[in-house]
């Protein structure tokens, strides 16, 4: 499995033609305590860069953009009852949605973990 990041602090794990999307550790730290998450519905078609989800914290509400294009397989239903999972494990159990990739080559425009760490270090 390979993980890629966007400059908007989303990540996507690629496993075959399935991508799992969430927000980075850095993003959840910036947001603070997360109180609400709205994930996309199964079957929704997303194009790279589309608004895919909403995350609200005690500080602000933010859109989560799809780092790749595809069809949503599932949203993380646990986040409806336990939005704090994003704070506890943003790059694991706090994932937002899974999708079937429509263009696997899109990940070539994203950062790997090393490049993302360097990007965040400059912020």
Q: Quick one: average pLDDT of 30-56?
A: 97
CB atoms within 10 A of CB 123: 7
Domain extent at residue 56: 2-115
Number of domains in the chain: 1
Which two structure tokens, joined as six digits, stand for 107? Answer: 């990940």
pTM: 0.97
Q: Are 91 and 25 in contact (CB under 8 A)?
A: yes
Q: Please report the beta strands in the chain, taking only residues with DSSP state E, as ranges in sequence order.
A: 2-5, 10-15, 18-23, 34-38, 45-46, 51-57, 61-65, 70-75, 97-101
- Tens digit of each residue's pLDDT (9 = 90 or more) over 85-101: 999 999 999 999 999 99
What tokens appear for 74 in the block?
Answer: 């599932």
Task: Summarize pLDDT for 98-110 with one digit per residue, the tens.
Answer: 999 999 999 999 9
What confidence category does residue 120 fall into, taking pLDDT thresholds of 50, 70 and 90?
very high
Is 82 inside a domain boundary? Answer: yes
- Domain-embedded: residue 122: no
């Amino acid at each position: 499995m390979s993980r890629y990041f966007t400059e908007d602090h989303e990540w996507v794990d690629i496993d075959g033609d399935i991508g799992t999307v969430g927000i980075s550790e850095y993003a959840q730290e910036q947001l603070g305590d997360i109180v609400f998450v709205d994930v996309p519905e199964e079957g929704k078609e997303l194009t790279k860069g589309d608004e895919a989800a909403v995350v609200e914290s005690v500080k602000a509400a933010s859109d989560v953009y799809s780092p790749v294009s595809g069809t949503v397989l599932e949203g993380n239903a646990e986040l409806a009852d336990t939005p704090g999972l994003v704070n506890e494990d943003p790059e694991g159990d706090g994932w937002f949605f899974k999708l079937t990739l429509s263009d696997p080559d899109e990940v070539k425009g994203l950062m790997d973990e090393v490049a993302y760490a360097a990007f965040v270090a400059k912020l």
